[in-house]
Amino acid sequence: MNHETNTEKKLQQVRDGYTEMLKRSQQKSGCCSTSTEGAYYDAQEVADLPPEAVQSSFGCGNPLKFAEVKEGQTVLDIGSGAGIDCFLAAQKVGPTGRVIGLDMTPAMIEKATQIAKEKGYSNVEFRLGTADKMPVEDSSVDWIISNCVINLAPDKPAVFREAFRIMKPGGRLSVSDIVTGMDLPPAVRNSIEAYVGCLAGAIREEEYLEGMRQAGFEQVEVTSRLVYGPEQVSTLIEETANTMKSSCGCGCGPSLAPWIKQFAGKVWSAQVEAVKPVKS
């Protein structure tokens, strides 16, 4: 199997996994949901949002918490899912602004579009596409946000280059994502459960930041970290396995429970900020 075929197979498994989590979200939260400690959504903040979007959130942070999004701006959410961060951004940009949600899972796009139409979010649209080839115009976005999604991209440098391409000079990026302080063993890297659970695709924090710098971003910094203990690591791995059993009809791979204690304190959710420089 060549690299391109293997990559597409992995992405399809991710699509299948998140489609299943969307179906199950009304009954039980998924791998990286709002019930996971550190999601950072205040009850008041999401009180006026569509409950379907809140219940189907699978993030690891709140990329808009410290983002200074202003009225009239354009915001792009990489991996928008059912739309929780897009609908939060819509409140900030107002009727003169614009929010674009990008996701590679058709079921997520369909659900988010349905919610936006039913709830009257006229300034929000959702587009089907992958993060390394975004269907978005050059230099058209003021803010890029993302919530626990870039770790799922096989080619992260390509994602950062695309983010740089579509961002206006002076635009800003605000990302919540899973990173590591160690090299993950092959048993974890090759586990589809750990991949859909936002762990197997995670890379070292410094490698993540350097990918942004190489793409052209400046002022790249981690503004906060939520270090995961055994309970959070277990959520990333073992709870996702239950979802994968439903989506693929099997266990998909051996239990990764023996690794959980070894990862505690070496995996975290990082809030990363960056700026596209203004050319003189």
pLDDT of residue 32: 46
In a domain, 206, yes or no: yes
8 Å CB contact between 236 and 228: yes
Q: Work out the number of other CB atoms within 10 angstroms of the CB of residue 189.
A: 14
pTM attached to this predicted model: 0.85
Can you tell me the distance from the alpha carbon of 218 to that of 39, in angstroms, rounded to the nearest whole number? 26
pLDDT of residue 159: 97
pLDDT of residue 280: 44
Can you tell me the distance from the alpha carbon of 51 to that of 38, in angstroms, rounded to the nearest whole number? 19
In terms of residue numbers, what domain contains 33? 3-275
In a domain, 89, yes or no: yes
Q: Which residue has the tokens 């059912």?
A: 82
In a domain, 208, yes or no: yes
Can you tell me the distance from the alpha carbon of 40 to that of 1, in angstroms, rounded to the nearest whole number? 41
pLDDT of residue 22: 67
Q: How many domains does the chain have?
A: 1
3-class DSSP string for the chain: CCHHHHHHHHHHHHHHHHHHHHHHCCCCCCCCCCCCCCCCCCHHHHCCCCHHHHHCCCCCCCCCCCCCCCCCCEEEEECCCCCHHHHHHHHHHCCCCEEEEEECCHHHHHHHHHHHHHHCCCCEEEEECECCECCCCCCCEEEEEEECCHHHCCCHHHHHHHHHHHEEEEEEEEEEEEEECCCCCHHHHCCHHHHHCCCCCCCEHHHHHHHHHHHCCEEEEEEEEEECCHHHHHHHHHHHHHHHHHHHCCCCCCCCHHHHHHHCCCEEEEEEEEECCCCC
In a domain, 280, yes or no: no
Identify the CA nearest to 248 among candidates 78, 4, 12, 84. 12
Can you tell me the distance from the alpha carbon of 50 to that of 152, in angstroms, rounded to the nearest whole number? 26
In a domain, 66, yes or no: yes
Q: Which residue has the tokens 């003189």?
A: 280
pLDDT of residue 97: 98
Q: Quick one: CA dihedral 260, 266, 271, 273, positive or negative?
A: negative
Cα angle 196-102-107, degrees, rounded to a multiple of 5: 60
Walk along the chain (280 residues) and give the pLDDT tens digit of each residue: 555 666 777 777 777 776 677 676 655 444 444 343 335 677 777 777 777 767 666 677 888 876 789 999 999 999 998 899 999 999 999 999 999 999 999 988 999 999 999 999 999 999 999 999 999 999 999 999 999 999 999 999 999 999 999 999 999 999 999 999 999 888 888 888 788 888 889 999 999 999 999 999 999 999 999 999 988 887 777 666 555 555 444 444 456 677 777 888 999 999 999 999 998 4
CATH of the domain at 115: 3.40.50.150
Can you tell me the distance from the alpha carbon of 41 to that of 62, in angstroms, rounded to the nearest whole number? 6
CA atoms within 13 A on the CB side of 116: 29
